[in-house]
Amino acid sequence: MKRRTLLLSSSAIALARVHGEELASPAATLVDCQLYIGDHPRRDLPQFTPSSWAALGLKQGWVGHFGAFSSEANHQALNAELRQRCADLPGSVAAQSLDLSQQTWRRDLEAALAATARSKALLRLCPSLHGYDWKHPALGELLTLCSQRSLPVQVVAKFEDARTQRQDRPLPPLSLREVPTICERLPQLRLMLLNINATEAQVQLRGCRNLWLDSAMIEGAAGLAGLLGHWPKDRLCLGSYAPFFYAAALPLKLQEAGLPGLDHQALAHQNASAFLG
């Protein structure tokens, strides 16, 4: 597969002139909660390198492995590769994967935690790609464990617009119906759903207090500011879903939101830091 370097043009970071005035360019204070390395199952995408990482101006990025999308992945090997690649990316946090439909998941979990600094342990699950959902007993067991051990968990809720899915290789979404019940049952759990849209947040997830969301699929004019009219201000984080999505959307969405200083800081990095613990 051809390798490209992720291009993050300077115009994306410090872009806009409004009537001749240069807008303030965001300093390296942003935390991107949803990044990936590895080969995407459907697309030939650019790869992060330390220089592209620096060009994005991130203070921190949480990096998963596209290989984890596969139902046949060896997660122990994948996580080892991920940790090694993250060691070359200053500021990165490995979002390690598990497949709870595999018999080996408990062993994979222990290996992932044993190899990770306590302050940077993070799990990222893709239940719908691995053929299970919130009702799977192993997910209940894992979330209880994460709640007890104060271990943050990201769950990818969807992967692509349903209208553009390839029928021969679909990437199905995860039902959200059980999420409010889980949040209520495990009030100490730190759970972040990735790729939620604004309607899902306001309708299906309304009232879920201990639930964080990322910004990758929040759309609409000044959509992040719009969502914060209905969603707790300390429960929304920036996530790009790069390189499947253009990484440049992340600082641009923050700029478009036009939030007052404290809310801006919360969204830029504070909420993410609180989630990671």
Partner 1 sequence: MRIWDLHCHLSGVPGLSPEERAGALLRIADRMGIERLCLYMGMRWAKNPSPQELRQQNDEVLRALKAHPDRLLGFVYTSAEHIEASLAELERCVAVGPMVGVKLWVAKRCHDPKIDPLIHRAADLKALIFQHTWIKTGGNEPGESTPADLVALAKRFPAVPMICGHSGGNWELGLQAIKDQPNLHADLAGSDPTWGITETACRLLGPGRVLYGSDCGGRSFASQLAKVHGADLSNADKELILSGNLRRLLSPILRAKGMAL
Binding residue (CB under 8 A) for partner 1 from 1, 18, 114, 117: 18
Shortest separation between residue 7's beta carbon and partner 1, angstroms: 4
Strand 17-18, strand 92-94: pairing: unpaired
Nearer to partner 1, 108 or 263 (CB): 263
- Is 155 or 238 the residue whose CB approaches partner 1 more closely? 238
Q: Minimal CA–CA distance to 139: which of 114, 95, 93, 174? A: 174
Peptide bond into 41 cis (omega under 30): no
Query: Does a cis peptide bond (omega within 30 degrees of 0) precede residue 243?
Result: yes
The tokens 């719009």 sit on which residue?
A: 226
- For tokens 């994460």, the residue is 146
Of 103 and 164, which CB lies nearer to partner 1 in the complex structure?
Answer: 164
Q: Which helix (H) or strand (E) holds 62?
A: strand 58-65
Place of tokens 């995407």: 40
Among 24, 167, 188, 260, binds partner 1 (CB under 8 A): 167
Smallest distance, partner 1 to C-beta of residue 224, A: 8
Rule CB under 8 A: say whether 1 interacts with partner 1.
no
Shortest Cβ distance from residue 235 to partner 1 (Å)?
19
Comparing CB distances to partner 1, the nearer of 131 and 258 is: 258
User: Cβ neighbours of residue 260 under 8 Å, at least 6 residues apart?
Assistant: none
Q: Which of 80, 115, 183, 252 binds partner 1 (CB under 8 A)?
A: 252
What the block records as the tokens of 174 is: 């995860």
User: Closer CB to partner 1, residue 182 or residue 242?
Assistant: 242
41 vs 180 by CB, closer to partner 1:
41
Query: What residues numbered 72-131 form the site for partner 1, per CB under 8 A?
Result: none
Tell me: does residue 27 bind partner 1 (CB under 8 A): no
Does 256 engage in binding with partner 1 (CB under 8 A)?
A: yes
- Token pair 């999308």 in the structure block, residue: 69
Amino acid at the residue 108: D
Q: How far is the CB of 103 from partner 1 (least distance, A)?
A: 34
* Residue whose CB is less far from partner 1, 15 or 138: 15
Nearest distance from residue 77's CB to partner 1, in Å? Answer: 26
Please tell me the distance from the alpha carbon of residue 49 to that of residue 196, in angstroms, as a whole number.
27
Task: Give the chain's largest Cα–Cα span.
Answer: 60
Binding test (CB under 8 A) with partner 1, winner from 163, 169, 188, 260: 163
Q: Which residues contact 75 (CB under 8 A, 6 or more apart)?
A: 68, 96, 97, 98, 99, 102, 104, 105, 108, 112
Q: Are strands 30-37 and 58-65 parallel, antiparallel or unpaired?
A: parallel
- Contacts with partner 1, residue ranges (CB under 8 A): 4, 7-9, 11-12, 15-18, 23, 43, 45-46, 160-167, 217-223, 226, 242-249, 252-253, 255-256, 258
